[in-house]
Structure 1
Amino acid sequence: MARVKSKKYAGVYLNKLTDGDITYSINYKDAENKKTWFTVGKKSSGITEIYAYNKRNEFINKIKLGEEPPAVLKRKKKDIVSLDSVALEHYQLKENHNRNNKLSKRKYEMHVSPILGKKDIKSITVEDTQKLQALKLKEFAPKTVNTILGELSVIFNYAIDKNIIVQNPLKKLRSLKVDNVRERYLSKEEISILLDYAKTDEQLHIFTLLALTTGARVGAICKITPRDINFEAKTISVLDEKNNEKYTAFLGSDELEELLKNRVQKLKIDTAVLKENEANLYDQIKLKARTILDKLFNNEDIDSKHKVVIHTLRHTFASHLAINGTPIFTIQKLLNHKDIRMTLRYAKLAPDTGRDSILKLGF
């Protein structure tokens, strides 16, 4: 049966149920002047018309004072679906079907969750995503920011499929223009300066040597354990999270080998080599490395293409291989690139420009 307006009390409505009970509801205008309904309760629970009327007056007075009625606030909390809860459900569903799921989940947890994770997904606006984009752009390259927002967009689309939201707020946000060619790599002189500074912190020193002599990414280096190091063969088994597979890197530095031998003696076989305390190792290394790189090589006016970032260490590894005449397919293997086009950017640094081959023609 439809609601029937109370004959005695303004804004109070009665709804007779099929079992003979009566439900009392009230309506009022909220802080945004919108007509709002609230179900107070049933007659069988002790609710009366006068009680419902008094509850309506309580709500109206709270709103006049700029407060949210407690009963409404409690009901709203029940209806909130946080972005984190949707993301968790999304990643759990993908767990057995997507090899990059762990990497995607970590990206969300690091970059999106601390800022938007607790918000009701239904309340997240285009402006919220714009603020996230601007915030991340202060710290990362446009390509990385686009990847972070792309991960968020996937979660929004999942929420749409589950009828939690009706539209993706990122649809109205423009992707950042990307120049994929990062030209900067460290010279031998700059490498010496960096290593001298890093020596004051053993953890940072080992990380820097690993990055420069293996070309491995930060996440991969943070996962290296004593089990992965073969001192006899002078190799390191590295997990490429991007492709979710292991590949072989080499211990090409006597200094690094000595540091690692001393360090692994104190560790369990499955403990990360760089682990020192309970802090998140990945975040700890990134902060230390970013701080020293900014101090030594970057100024406020430097553009992104020439800024020295942590990934520059991987770029430096590959660039010096090319400069030393290493075949491009060998560089591809050492970087674990799946697509040779990713490696070909280093070909221009190779010393063999083709001049000698042309001269040998003898024409």
Structure 2
Amino acid sequence: MKYTWKSTKYKGVRFREHPARKHGIKKDRYFVIRFQADGERTEESLGWASEGWTAEKAFFELTQLKNNFKLGNGPTRMSEKREQADELKKKKRAVKEKEAHDAITFSTFFEKHYYLIAEANKKPESYRKENEHFKNWLKPVTGEMALKTIYPLHLEKVKKNMIDAKKSPRTIEYVFATFRQTWNMARRDNYVDRESPTKMVKKPKFDNKRIRFLTHHEADKLLIELKDKSEQVHNMALLSLHCGLRASEIFRLKWGHVDRDSGILHIMDAKGNKNRTAIMTKIISTMFEGLKKGPSDELVFPDKNGNKIRKISNTFLRAVDDLMLNPKNIDRRHKVIFHTLRHTFASWLVQQGESLYVVQRLLGHGSISQTERYSHLADKNLENAVRNFEKSLEEEKEKKDAPEIQNQKKVS
């Protein structure tokens, strides 16, 4: 399209009018500037009046470009000026993003980054507990603080709050683990550049290992009491006692995991995301035979709505209380809880002489060190082993001495 260019009162500045569009009461104008540079006529397009350009502004740009050319300093073309302006914008944007990056708070990072990834990669019970740790203990102290401003002193305050609330050392350890995992992710993503402040906070020392396990008589009484109160809770308790299953493993158990023919239970996605098998006793096999088998993807022990159970029913604790298995003010390590059944399973195995390696495999422990808590129960087995060794030495000596005694008799 051929345009008609019109001059302005400013030398080197001209414009053309848009055939239809108006800016105010006048037609919209498109401004350009022209000047000589190194003997060549240069023309630069600027823009429309509707975009903020005027003849005065165009002349100012023209004057700047001409001065830059004479002095050999600064942009001599609008394209260069635009590139410099874009680069400056990028730098300002980068500075602003870095400031926002450096100012990100613990709450923002946990909620917008860590928790979303935890939901996608962890079990519901795991990320639910981590969220509780955050809301109850970490957020009140560190929530509104920028990650880079959090130091061991602030974690000491978290610890003090928990101690004042009479939280166990184990719970404090779990809360610190949630903070540490969040921090390590922030460090991976370059929000912080130092190790977790939890490393420099002394954790309360406490032997949290449960000691109590049931005698056979106590276990029988508990199962009878549970059967009177709830068939389902009784069956779950029986399964834990005879196969060493965790409560969470029982909650996730589906009919497709129960192999009656082989007498095996397939424990899928157990603690540590590892699969294992559990061996059914005859009592457990009989229990499953008495239950109505559902489709392979159906839970064996669903809640009343058919969904996965989230925690053991209070029926279990009521049965324990009715049997007075937990006296008043009992040490928590001696307290009978549902997990005591799994602990009892392992303890009985060790007492009857099974190796810790076998017990480790049956419990699904990732490390033998976890199973070594039961080693004291094997002391009697160790003594028996030495006595058997001693006996074998005596028998060997008797065999060796027998021919000599016979020879002596012949000589005499």
Q: Pick the TM interval, shorter chain.
A: 0.5 to 0.7
Q: Which amino acid aligns with 1:285?
A: I
| 1:192 partner SS | helix
**1:297 to partner: Cα distance:** 1.7
2:392 is the alignment partner of 1:360: yes
Aligned pairs for 1:321-340 within 5 A: 321-340=349-368
Alignment correspondent of 2:143: 121
Question: C-alpha distance in 1, partners of 2:110/2:309?
Answer: 25
- In the alignment, is the contact (CA less than 8 A) between 1:225 and 1:269 conserved in 2? yes
Q: How many residues are matched?
A: 278
Q: Which amino acid aligns with 2:311?
A: Q
- Which whole-Å deviations, capped at 9, do the CAs of 1:185-216 have from their partners, x for residues lacking one? 11101101110111121221111011101111
Alignment correspondent of 2:85: none
1:284/1:346 Cα in 2 relative to 1: closer, same or farther (>3 Å)? Answer: closer
Of 155-164 and 315-324, the range deviating more from structure 2:
155-164
> Any unmatched runs of 5+ in structure 1?
1-18, 20-78
2:298 is the alignment partner of 1:274: no
Question: C-alpha distance in 2, partners of 1:211/1:108?
Answer: 26
Query: Among residues 322, 327, 339, which one is paired with 1:311 in the alignment?
Result: 339
| 2:234 partner SS | helix
TM-score (norm 2): 0.56
- In the alignment, is the contact (CA less than 8 A) between 1:103 and 1:242 conserved in 2? no
**1:271 to partner: Cα distance:** 2.2
Alignment correspondent of 1:236: 265
Q: Which amino acid aligns with 1:250?
A: I
Q: Which amino acid aligns with 2:257?
A: D
Alignment correspondent of 1:146: 173
Aligned pairs for 1:221-260 within 5 A: 221-239=250-268, 241-254=270-283, 256-260=284-288
- Could you say which structure has the higher helix fraction? 2
Question: C-alpha distance in 2, partners of 1:307/1:343?
Answer: 20
Q: Which amino acid aligns with 2:356?
A: I
Question: C-alpha distance in 1, partners of 2:190/2:163?
Answer: 25
Question: C-alpha distance in 2, partners of 1:281/1:80?
Answer: 37
Aligned pairs for 1:48-59 within 5 A: none
- Which whole-Å deviations, capped at 9, do the CAs of 1:159-206 have from their partners, x for residues lacking one? 676759x99886786533221543211110110111011112122111
| 1:337 partner SS | coil
- Which whole-Å deviations, capped at 9, do the CAs of 1:45-70 have from their partners, x for residues lacking one? xxxxxxxxxxxxxxxxxxxxxxxxxx
1:264/1:147 Cα in 2 relative to 1: closer, same or farther (>3 Å)? Answer: farther
**1:330 to partner: Cα distance:** 1.8
1:133/1:253 Cα in 2 relative to 1: closer, same or farther (>3 Å)? Answer: farther
- In the alignment, is the contact (CA less than 8 A) between 1:86 and 1:155 conserved in 2? yes
**1:279 to partner: Cα distance:** 8.7
Q: What's the Cα RMSD here?
A: 3.9
| 2:310 partner SS | helix
- In the alignment, is the contact (CA less than 8 A) between 2:138 and 2:158 conserved in 1? no
- In the alignment, is the contact (CA less than 8 A) between 1:322 and 1:349 conserved in 2? yes
Percent identical among aligned pairs is: 27
Q: Which amino acid aligns with 1:191?
A: A
TM-score (norm 1): 0.62
**1:276 to partner: Cα distance:** 2.4
| 2:277 partner SS | strand
Question: C-alpha distance in 2, partners of 1:286/1:269?
Answer: 25
**Larger Rg computed on CA atoms:** 2
1:82/1:149 Cα in 2 relative to 1: closer, same or farther (>3 Å)? Answer: closer
| 1:212 partner SS | helix
- In the alignment, is the contact (CA less than 8 A) between 2:119 and 2:127 conserved in 1? no
2:213 is the alignment partner of 1:185: yes
Question: C-alpha distance in 1, partners of 2:298/2:164?
Answer: 37
Aligned pairs for 1:1-363 within 5 A: 83=107, 86-87=110-111, 89-93=113-117, 104-109=126-131, 111-112=132-133, 115=136, 121-122=143-144, 130-131=160-161, 137=167, 142-155=169-182, 158=185, 163=191, 174-199=202-227, 200-239=229-268, 241-254=270-283, 256-265=284-293, 267-278=294-305, 281-285=308-312, 287-293=314-320, 296-350=324-378, 351-352=380-381, 353=383, 354=385, 355-362=387-394
| 1:237 partner SS | strand
| 2:262 partner SS | coil
**1:345 to partner: Cα distance:** 3.1
Question: C-alpha distance in 1, partners of 2:308/2:164?
Answer: 26
- In the alignment, is the contact (CA less than 8 A) between 1:247 and 1:336 conserved in 2? yes
Of 323-332 and 170-179, the range deviating more from structure 2:
170-179
Q: Which amino acid aligns with 1:237?
A: H
| 1:263 partner SS | coil
**1:219 to partner: Cα distance:** 1.1
